[in-house]
A and B are shown apart, each in its own frame.
Chain A
Amino acid sequence: MSDPILSIQNLSKSFEGNQVFNDISFSVERGELSAIIGPNGAGKTTLFNLITGALVPDQGKVIFEGQDIVGMEPFDIVRLGMARAFQRTNIFPKMTVLENIVITIITRLNTNLRFVRHWNSSKEIKKRAFEILESVGLADKASHQSGTLAHGNQKRLDIGVALALEPKLLLLDEPVAGMSPEERWETVDLVKDLWNQMKITMVYIEHDMDIVFGISQIVRVLCYKTLLAEGPPDEISANHQVIEAYLGEEV
């Protein structure tokens, strides 16, 4: 039954003698919508960096679609079908919203080495770009310079850029960070819709426990350099270790 798309095996990482992870292992099932939680400094973003190739682990394996991707370049890992949206908005600010999406599609299609025709000349690419902008609710802002968008829209564009890669696995690092309460739930609904429609496996980092326990199938708790707990939301919220270490008395 088990069909993991991503499998972390015995991963360890230290920075200048400070150990961040000590021998953590877990697997993400295909089609899963899961959350990673943990106190500040637990290494959640570092974990994403290790998975996506931005950092290289000291030890252990990262198996994505049956292949050990440790040591591969980030752009090669992206090509295998893994995309990422960032905690701090990370787009191409002086390019238009449309250009942000189009360059991503061009790269996915591996047509960067076309020198003659205008990048804007492909109808299929443009059509696909607008579909993606539609799905993240930015179609009417296609010609805006992306750096001038409101913060929430920039985060949506960041997600749109990741979606334009048509990934099998999508890693979202605090997709609602810095958003107003209404924006938060809008974005959560968006993420959930996308997951429903596109059948992408999604892993996201989040601090807001209402969101985490509201939409996740699986919650993983990072704490004390290791994976403290892993399971469905109701199990995690009842886990004494988790409550003591992290959730405190709020739950």
Chain B
Amino acid sequence: MNDQTYPSRSGWIAGIIVTVILFVLPVFLGNLGKTGEYWIWVSTEMIIMALFAMSLNLILGFGGMVSFGHAAFFGVGAYTVALLMKKADFPLYLALPAAPMVAAVTAAFIGWFCVRLSGLYFSILTLAFGQLLFMIVFQWYTFTGGDDGLHGVPRPEILGPINYYWLCLIIFMVCFLVIRMIVNSSFGLTIKTIRENLDRAKFVGINVRRYQLLNFVIAGAFAGLSGGMLCELNRFAQTEFLHWSKSAEPILASLVGGMYSLAGPAIGSSVLIFLKIFLQQVHRSMVEIWAIFLGVLLLIVVLFAPQGLVGLYQNIFHKSRS
């Protein structure tokens, strides 16, 4: 089995331990004063971006489609929450579920065109649509606030930093299990089959475009949800959320973590964010050369661990199995 989506017994135990640690973490950090609060915020962002990376990997790793425009759905989710809460006075419990829905509709529209193409042409078209959306949001001052973004998104009083962390963690856990279920389902096998051999898939009777579109929409919905969560964390939505550089983040995360595994992209995303913040803490000037660190890291991964961190881990600890 190429795709590591079947956790062994030790995988389950590791998963439970990690979950418990993640749940207890903010209590521990909460006792560390200002620094602790900052790290709770960072951890929340890591959880949210992990979900974003996993959403992309539905199409990237499992579907074999390289999208350069995934931030479009992330951004749409963020702006949905910001607009609904700021301009229509929606409560968070209605605005947040709306984010994946609006993102899914957007993904259905963009995807309808994109899945007609494959390979590089697909990638370029996703990039074009992503940047188109970015430009619309950038220019439409009266509605989106243009390059100022939308600030001051309200936060329900009960959602302090720790509670919001827990909320995000619970949403992440549920999404993780749902994505895992999708990947292992008949639909998931269909998607992997298309990735493996698109032409042959047609000759076993698979309507390739239909399932690619559906997968694109599902991935867009999860991206929209993560965008909405980040918007509420930062209490603002800004055009940067839709920019192509935001689309690159989950691609890099999947590369570093391992795109043929379920948890790989989430791990990769968290590692990258942690490294960046850590360097920033060591010395402010380090942020300026973050790109160099990232470049070297990617070089090492591509050359020595093409299956990412998860693949590396499996090579070291499960050599006997392969």
Q: Of B9-17, B36-44, B162-170, B183-191, which stretch is located at the interface?
A: B183-191
What would be 12 A-B contacts, judged by CB atoms less than 8 Å apart?
A: A73-B202, A75-B203, A75-B207, A92-B192, A92-B196, A95-B2, A96-B1, A112-B186, A115-B182, A118-B185, A119-B188, A165-B204
Q: How far is the CA of A111 from the CA of B208 in the complex (A)?
A: 14
A84 within 8 A of B: yes
A52 partner residues in chain B, CB cutoff 8 A: 203
Q: How far is the CA of A116 from the CA of B196 in the complex (A)?
A: 22
Binding site for B on A (CB under 8 A): 52, 54, 73-75, 78-79, 83-84, 86, 90-96, 99, 102-104, 106-108, 111-119, 145, 161, 164-165
A96 partner residues in chain B, CB cutoff 8 A: 1
CB-CB contacts of B228-268 with A at 8 A, as 1s and 0s?
00000000000000000000000000000000000000000
Q: Which 5 A-B pairs have the closest CB atoms?
A: A78-B205, A92-B196, A94-B2, A114-B186, A119-B189
B199 within 8 A of A: yes
Q: How far is the CA of A78 from the CA of B2 in the complex (A)?
A: 28
Q: Contacts A94-B2, A114-B185: A78 and B193 contacting too (C-beta < 8 A)?
A: no
Is A119's CB under 8 angstroms from B186's CB?
yes
A115 partner residues in chain B, CB cutoff 8 A: 181-182, 185-187
Is B182's CB under 8 angstroms from A92's CB?
no
Q: How far is the CA of A114 from the CA of B203 in the complex (A)?
A: 20
B 176-225 contacts with A by CB, 8 A: 181-182, 184-190, 192-193, 196-197, 199-208, 211, 214
Q: How far is the CA of A84 from the CA of B205 in the complex (A)?
A: 11
Given contacts A78-B204, A114-B185, A117-B185, 7 further A-B pairs with CB under 8 A are A75-B206, A90-B199, A95-B196, A112-B186, A114-B187, A115-B186, A165-B205
Size band of the interface chain B makes with A: 20 to 34
Q: Which residue of B lies closest to A118 (CB)?
A: B184
Q: How far is the CA of A93 from the CA of B195 in the complex (A)?
A: 11
A86 partner residues in chain B, CB cutoff 8 A: 200
- Max chain A C-beta neighbours (<10 A), residue from B189, B192, B197, B211: B189
Q: Contacts A78-B204, A84-B203, A107-B206: A116 and B181 contacting too (C-beta < 8 A)?
A: yes
Is B193's CB under 8 angstroms from A95's CB?
yes
Is B200's CB under 8 angstroms from A111's CB?
no
Give min CB distance, A102 to chain B, whole Å: 7
B203 partner residues in chain A, CB cutoff 8 A: 52, 54, 74-75, 78, 83-84, 90
Tell me the dominant secondary structure on chain A's binding face: mixed
Is A107's CB under 8 angstroms from B187's CB?
no
Q: How far is the CA of A126 from the CA of B146 in the complex (A)?
A: 55
Is A91's CB under 8 angstroms from B200's CB?
yes
B181 partner residues in chain A, CB cutoff 8 A: 115-116
Q: Contacts A114-B185, A118-B185: A107 and B197 contacting too (C-beta < 8 A)?
A: no
Q: Which residue of B lies closest to A92 (CB)?
A: B196
Is B185's CB under 8 angstroms from A104's CB?
no
Give min CB distance, B193 to chain A, whole Å: 5
Is A111's CB under 8 angstroms from B186's CB?
yes
B184 partner residues in chain A, CB cutoff 8 A: 118-119
The listed residue (A73, A90, A94, A112) touching B187 by CB distance below 8 A is: A112
Give min CB distance, B123 to chain A, whole Å: 21
B188 partner residues in chain A, CB cutoff 8 A: 119
Q: Contacts A94-B196, A145-B2: A116 and B185 contacting too (C-beta < 8 A)?
A: yes
Q: How far is the CA of A94 from the CA of B192 in the complex (A)?
A: 9
Give min CB distance, B244 to chain A, whole Å: 30
Q: How far is the CA of A84 from the CA of B207 in the complex (A)?
A: 16
Q: How far is the CA of A242 from the CA of B185 in the complex (A)?
A: 53
Is B205's CB under 8 angstroms from A79's CB?
yes
Is A75's CB under 8 angstroms from B1's CB?
no
B204 partner residues in chain A, CB cutoff 8 A: 78, 103-104, 107, 161, 164-165
B205 partner residues in chain A, CB cutoff 8 A: 75, 78-79, 104, 107-108, 165
The listed residue (B2, B189, B199) touching A102 by CB distance below 8 A is: B189
Is A75's CB under 8 angstroms from B197's CB?
no
A99 partner residues in chain B, CB cutoff 8 A: 189, 193
B185 partner residues in chain A, CB cutoff 8 A: 114-119
Q: Which residue of A lies closest to B193 (CB)?
A: A103
Give min CB distance, A53 to chain B, whole Å: 8
The listed residue (A84, A93, A102, A113) touching B196 by CB distance below 8 A is: A93
B 9-57 contacts with A by CB, 8 A: none
Q: How far is the CA of A163 from the CA of B17 in the complex (A)?
A: 46
Q: Which residue of B lies closest to A93 (CB)?
A: B196
Q: How far is the CA of A84 from the CA of B196 in the complex (A)?
A: 18
B200 partner residues in chain A, CB cutoff 8 A: 86, 90-92
